[in-house]
Structure 1
Amino acid sequence: MAGNPVGRTVSIALALLCVGAAPRTGPSFGIWSNPKGSVHVRAEPCGRNMCGVVVWASDKAKADAARGGTDPLVGTTLFRDFTPAGRNRWRGKVFVPDIGKTFSGTVTLLDPDRLEGEGCLLGGIGCKSQIWTRVTP
């Protein structure tokens, strides 16, 4: 998946799991880690929607993003305008920094400490999902 733009898209798109189930407060807000532990995203309100901002990234993730034209990675809003799409589910746009493109994605809160994110290319093609975990202080 690492050398494949679709795979990278899905990996980052799944980072969208940082968004969850409540419009202003709730269990989805906080910091979430991707499965590899290389990116941490803070889910937070952005107007009436929810967004996800990178608050920490490994050196490799930073280098990959820089090669794709996003530098710095930390502070970048990856998840934009996520709106409710059912119980414990959100839909929005995901910016993939290592390829500089934006795709559609969904996030589903599985339980207080796990989110499943799914990212797809246009028309629902090439979808992938990942489970992200809450980062505890």
Structure 2
Amino acid sequence: MKRLPLKRLAAIAALASAAPLLAAQPIEGRWVTAEKDAVIQIGKCGSKLCGKIARFLVAPPQGLDQRDVNNKEPRLRSRKLLGMPVLTGFNEESDLWRGEIYDPKSGKTYRSVVRRKDANRLEVKGCIGPFCQTQVWTRAR
């Protein structure tokens, strides 16, 4: 068996450790929800990623000026849904993103995992304990 020189082994090890094995694909951009009722803009919010309601594709029950009436915290019920963050605190972890997702229809916040399926599809999971519900969002055109 041929032995590699020590310098060459060190160079190979440095290259291998410099690039993560499974880097998460970027999730920034505009995404249409699975229900096709809104467009969510995902981008930087400080050092983390968040997703805000950028546009309604179907008007909410109380119109385009709909407030966050189902929020469990009374002080937040007067904020407008349009522009409100529904994805918060997302950090890259291996081949996915972890944070929280807020559902304005129920007023509940869930742990969330987001992963790019391909260039035009985003897998979004909301979880309570070990139970998760998955949606697929599509890239907005």
TM-score w.r.t. length of structure 2: 0.68
Partner of 2:25: 21
The 3 A distance-change label for structure 1 pair 135 and 67 is same
Distance 1:48 1:29 in 2: 14
Match for 1:84: what amino acid?
E
1:81 to 2:81 alignment = no
TM-score by length of 1: 0.70
| CA pair 101-86 structure 1, distance change in 2 beyond 3 A | same
**CA RMSD of superposed structures (Å):** 2.2
> Conserved in 2, the CA contact under 8 Å of 1:35 and 1:133?
yes
Max Rg structure: 2
Alignment size in residue pairs? 109
Tell me which residue corresponds to 2:41.
42
Write the distance in 1 (CA, Å) between the matches of 2:45 and 2:119: 21
The structure in which a higher percent of residues are helix is 1
Q: Deviations over 1:92-111 (max 9, x none)?
A: 01112122221101001011
Structure 2 letter corresponding to 1:52: G
For the residues of structure 2 that align with 1:62 and 1:116, how far apart are their CA atoms? 29
Unmatched 5+ residue regions in structure 2?
1-23, 72-76
Query: 1:132, 1:84 → 2: CA distance?
Result: 19
CA distance 1:62–1:132, shift in 2 (3 Å): farther
How far is the alpha carbon of 1:65 from its aligned partner? 6.4
